Amino acid sequence: MEARRRARASRPSAAVVFSRAVGEVFITAGVLMLLFVTYQLWWTNVRAHAQADREASSLQDDWASGKRNPGAFSPGQGFAILHIPKLDVVVPIAEGIDSKKVLDKGMVGHYGEDALKTAMPDAKTGNFGLAGHRNTHGEPFRYINRLQPGDSIVVETQDEYFVYKMASILPVTSPSNVSVLDPVPPDSTFTGPGRYITLTTCTPEFTSKYRMIVWGKMVEERPRSKGKPDALVE
C-alpha cells in the first residue's frame, strides 16, 4: 500500500500534464511561425531572384539571336529590363500585374490591360506604369523611397534604351487612386503631355494598406546600336 501511495504521489497532477501539453503546443506553433517568417522573408526572395535572373538572361539571349520582335506581348511575357542604378536594381519587366505570373516571380509588371492600360516607352506621349513588390518575392521596389529628383531610371528593350529622370514621389495614397497612372498624373509635377514613367508599390513596408508612387520623365531615347546610355556606365 505504501509503495502504491508513493507511486501515485510521484505522478504529475492533471494540471501539470495540461500545462506541459499547452507548452508543447506553443513551442510547436512558435517553430511553425518561425519557419513561415523565414519562408516569407528569405526563401521567397531567393526563389524570385533566381526566376528573375533566368528571365533577364533569356531576354538578352533572345534579343541577341533575334528571336523576339517588338510588338504586343501576352500576359506574363517579359519584354524589357528595368535599371535603377542608384538602387542596384536590374529586373525584368513583364506584361500585366498578375501576382503569380509576374510579381511573385521577382519581376515588375506593366499596367497594360483593361482600364489600367498605360503606354509603352516608345509611345510619343503617355505614362509607362509599372508595379513591383516592396517586400518579399524579390522586392525590387523596396527602396524606391530613396530616389531623389534627377536619379536615373532606365528601361532597356530589344532595340532601345529609354532614360528617365526621377521627378517626384507621392509617399502615401490609396490603392484605389488609379489617377496616378493617367497620361498626366494630377498629383505629379507634370503639367502637360509628355513621356513619363510611374513606379507603384505597397506601403508601409510589409503591408498592402497604401501605395507609394514614384514618377519620372524621359530625357533620352537611345538606340542600342549606339551603346549604353551614360546612366548605365557611370
Averaged over 106-121, what is the pLDDT? 93
The Cα-based distances of 135 to 28, 33, 119, 207 in angstroms read: 26, 18, 26, 9
Q: What percent helix, strand, coil does the chain show, rounded to 5?
A: 35, 30, 35
DSSP letter assigned to residue 215: E
Residue 202 falls in the annotated catalytic set: yes
- Other beta carbons within 10 angstroms of residue 109's beta carbon come to 26
pLDDT at residue 150 greater than cutoff 90: yes
Point out the catalytic residue in the list 83, 195, 211, 222. Answer: 211
Averaged over 117-139, what is the pLDDT? 95
pTM given for the model: 0.82
Segment 45-75, tens digit of pLDDT: 888 888 888 988 888 888 888 776 666 788 8
pLDDT score at 122:
95
Q: What percent of the chain has pLDDT over 90?
A: 65
Residue 211 falls in the annotated catalytic set: yes
Per-residue confidence band for 107, with pLDDT thresholds at 50, 70 and 90: very high
pLDDT score at 2:
56
Q: Which domains does the chain have, with CATH numbers?
A: 41-232 (2.40.260.10)
CA–CA distance, 149 with 79 (Å, rounded to integer)? 27
CA–CA distance, 28 with 40 (Å, rounded to integer)? 18
Point out the catalytic residue in the list 83, 133, 134, 222. Answer: 133
pLDDT score at 35:
44
pLDDT score at 5:
60
